[in-house]
A and B are shown apart, each in its own frame.
Chain A
Amino acid sequence: MATEPKRVFGSLEELMTNPQMVMYEEEFNQIQAIVVRLVKEANARVVFVIDKNGQEIAKAGETDQLDTTSLASLTAGNIAATGGMAKLLRENEFTTQFHEGERANIHIQIVGNRVILVVIFDSKTSLGLVRLRVKKASEELNSIFEALLRKVQDPNRETPFAEITDDDIDNLFND
């Protein structure tokens, strides 16, 4: 509906009624392009995007040496915990976090209340540059996820898992 107020990724409550998140090729490629570009422009080591439940969405940079699955889950836990603290302080979410280490630094940004953009960088770059590039990237990511959410909520959408039968599921567990 065109008259519907524009909403970002929806509150948790809205998502409950739409418990499935689907990532399509088109949006995935757009997100991946942004992540790749952010690595370059921010001179970062690694950039990744995860959802608030800790599912990895996209990543780029020197990810080979990195257990991104664990990092994703811990980042999501961290964001959830900080969000809980914010609530107790009657604050909105703390949208940015920065952790400084001896060699590696982590910049964590909540994008549109829905996904998390993580940048890992070292002394080859600066926090200022990272912040600047993150700002632009999160705006772009925000509109992609908005479009994606509209797509997922479209009743006529492509449903990738619909072709699977109960027997297929049974077979997975008969060994």
Chain B
Amino acid sequence: MSFINVLSREINCKIVYYGPGLCGKTTNLQYIYNKTNPDAKGKMISLATETERTLFFDFLPLALGEIRGFKTRFHLYTVPGQVFYDASRKLILKGVDGVVFVADSQIARTEANLESLENLRTNLAEQGYSLDKLPYVIQYNKRDMPSVAPVEELRELLNPNKVPDFEGVASTGVGVFETLKAVAKLVLTEVKRQAG
């Protein structure tokens, strides 16, 4: 749910990075954090286990610049990927304005991707959202790994509606900002649509 403050001319939106465990969600946020000017970002918070697996969420507040005097602020969240953290994932989806589905391109993770995408749909539906109506993009991450599925195959499997999709190597930053910009743009367009 976007939040517009008329007085301070600020618009705040929430973007959630979703996907199976270890697909690179936290790495996306870390890369964005590392490459952003200090004045455009807040602290990155990671509620993680001792082994750096996301326990509840990662959070990164980010300013993406001004549109006609409106400051655009995005709150980026990741969810914990492991199956048994489903209750936490549902909570993080509350009030979401845009979703990035990070897929793990490795052939061995095909089923995990499908399962996670299905889980995303279910959890959104439970709260009255539909993935088909929400600003939504996909990133095929880990393109640098040795045994990855061809992008065409991933696309067919995970992106039947042909939403914007990107190849990524989050650990080196490939595709990270492209993905973020694409979803941010869809979110702002949706805010505008609802305002007009």
Write the residues of chain A forming the contact surface with B, with a CB cutoff of 8 angstroms. Answer: 12-13, 15-16, 19-25, 28-29, 51-55, 67, 69-70, 73-74, 77, 80-81, 83-84, 158-164, 166, 168-173
Contacts and interface: CB of A to CB of B under 8 A. Distances in A.
Contact of B6 (A23, A81, A162, A164): A23
Contacts of B43: 67, 69-70
Nearest to B45: A70
Contacts of A73: 45, 59, 61, 75
A162 B196 contact: yes
Given A73-B75, A161-B192, 16 more contacts: A19-B2, A21-B4, A22-B3, A28-B7, A53-B3, A53-B94, A54-B59, A70-B61, A77-B57, A84-B87, A160-B9, A160-B195, A161-B4, A162-B196, A168-B67, A172-B67
7 contacts: A52-B94, A158-B6, A164-B188, A172-B65, A172-B66, A172-B67, A172-B185
A129 B72 CA distance: 38
Interface in B31-73: 42-43, 45, 47, 56-57, 59, 61, 64-68, 70, 72
B13 to A, nearest CB: 9
Contacts of A15: 1
A84 B86 CA distance: 11
Contacts of B196: 159, 161-162
State the majority secondary structure of interface residues on A.
helix
B6 A77 contact: no
Interface of B: 1-7, 9, 11-12, 14, 42-43, 45, 47, 56-57, 59, 61, 64-68, 70, 72, 75, 87-88, 90-92, 94-95, 97, 127-129, 181, 184-185, 188-189, 191-192, 194-196
Contacts of A80: 91-92, 94
Contacts of A54: 59, 75
A159 B72 CA distance: 16
A137 to B, nearest CB: 20
A129 B135 CA distance: 46
Contacts of A159: 195-196
B4 A70 contact: no
Nearest to A24: B6
A162 B9 CA distance: 13
> Which of A77, A84, A166 has the most chain B CB atoms closer than 10 A to its own CB?
A77
Contacts of A162: 192, 195-196
Contacts of A51: 3, 95
A46 to B, nearest CB: 17
A169 B188 contact: yes
B1 A173 contact: no
A20 B191 contact: yes
Contacts of A83: 91
Given A77-B91, A159-B195, A172-B64, A20 B4 contact: yes
Query: Which 9 pairs across A and B sit closest by C-beta, in order of nearness?
Result: A53-B95, A161-B195, A80-B91, A16-B128, A162-B196, A159-B195, A162-B195, A55-B3, A69-B42
Contacts of B87: 84
Nearest to A157: B195
B2 A16 contact: no
Contact of B189 (A22, A29, A158, A169): A169
